[in-house]
Amino acid sequence: MFFFCLLSVFIRVHLWFHKAFELLSREASMTTHKTARDLSQFLAAQLDGDPSLPISGLASPESAGHADLIYVDSSRHLDRAAASAARCVLLPPDLSLPGKTLLRSPQPKLAFAKAAAWLLPAAPIATGIHPTAVISPTARLASGVAVGPYAVIEDDVSIAEGTQIAAFCFLGRGSRLGAHCRLYPRVTLYAGVRLGNRVLVHSGAVIGSDGFGYVTGEGKHLKFPQLGSVEIADDVEIGANSTLDRGSLSTTRLDSGVKLDNLVHVAHNVRIGANTLIAAQTGISGSSVIGNNVVIGGQVGIADHCTLEDACVAGAQAGIPTGKTIRSGQVVWGTPARPLDKFKEAYAWFARLPELAARLRAIEQKLP
């Protein structure tokens, strides 16, 4: 009896190892091994060193392994790279690092970001159509669309090829999603929202809710119609728990390449130009217009009907009053926001107020 029990255990262990070996072999066969030559060709970077060097990941110099890629964009960091276990380094053409395989690029950090997307493509957030998803029969899903558990897709929604909808998302009736979008868990799109191609929306974001619009009269606040829509162009990324209100009678719009951090609020009828960056906890009030390539720091408050022209910068916690215009290329800070040089001058005097107050008291005491 003992012999048969032992034989049974042996067979099970043998079958387990055989299955595990098959899975590992299958995974290994699916893995595409990249080399320094492959990466140099992809990045159009000059290669100095071993072209056959395998590269399978990316890391900081301190945490990198032998097969990881690291980058250096300043001579100040050469010592960190030299001490790193990484054997392949991205760096500018004018720097050198003996003993490493080098990929030379004018913009190493940009090249590193491109390498990351190429070497480590994002893992899927949904695969296939989960049986618990609730999808209207009038919704149109193109090939390759994936929908996760308990997602709800209402009437007349259209989703283009390759888009992934994660668990518990809600897509209101008539929404339109372009190709290869990614909606992380619990994203809500109200009715009629339109997303372009390759839009990333992180968890908890709400797009298309009513704007904060009221008319005061007869002793109460009457809701003004919020009948517009939200349109988001290609390659936009929206951070977790951000909120974008629909237009009241027109459209709230984000142009291509806009990147919103977490907890950003965009009110009704706001327009944000291409490639603008907005950091966390910024609030933009109704009908403000943000230009192209604008940079807005964290916790900036922008009142209604403001204009931030192209390529201007609003420093963290700046406050921009109603109707104000920030001119193209201008850098502002403080509340109310003012040009950076003016802010620094005023802040220097503000920091000296205790000293000046003491001097003033001393002068007052000497007066008759």
Specify the DSSP class assigned to residue 364.
H
Q: Nearest-5° angle of CA 189, CA 190, CA 195?
A: 50
Q: What is the pLDDT of residues 32-47, one digit of tens each?
A: 579 999 999 999 999 9
Mean pLDDT of 149-171: 98
Mean pLDDT of 286-299: 98
What pLDDT score does 33 carry?
Answer: 74
Q: What is the pTM of this model?
A: 0.84
What pLDDT score does 5 carry?
Answer: 40
Q: What is the pLDDT of residues 174-200, one digit of tens each?
A: 999 999 999 999 999 999 999 999 999
**Does residue 25 register a pLDDT over 90?**
no
Q: Which carries the bigger pLDDT value, residue 20 or residue 238?
A: 238
**Does residue 6 register a pLDDT over 80?**
no
**How far apart are the C-alpha atoms of 310 and 307, rounded to whole Å?**
10
Give all domains of the chain, ordered by start, each with its CATH number: 34-119 (3.40.1390.10), 134-213+222-341 (2.160.10.10)
Which percentage of the chain shows pLDDT scores above 70?
Answer: 91
The pLDDT-based confidence of 13 (bands split at 50, 70, 90) is very low
Is the Cα dihedral 33, 35, 37, 42 positive or negative? positive
Q: Which residues form the catalytic set? A: 268
Specify the DSSP class assigned to residue 354.
H
Is the Cα dihedral 352, 354, 355, 356 positive or negative? positive
**Does residue 274 register a pLDDT over 60?**
yes
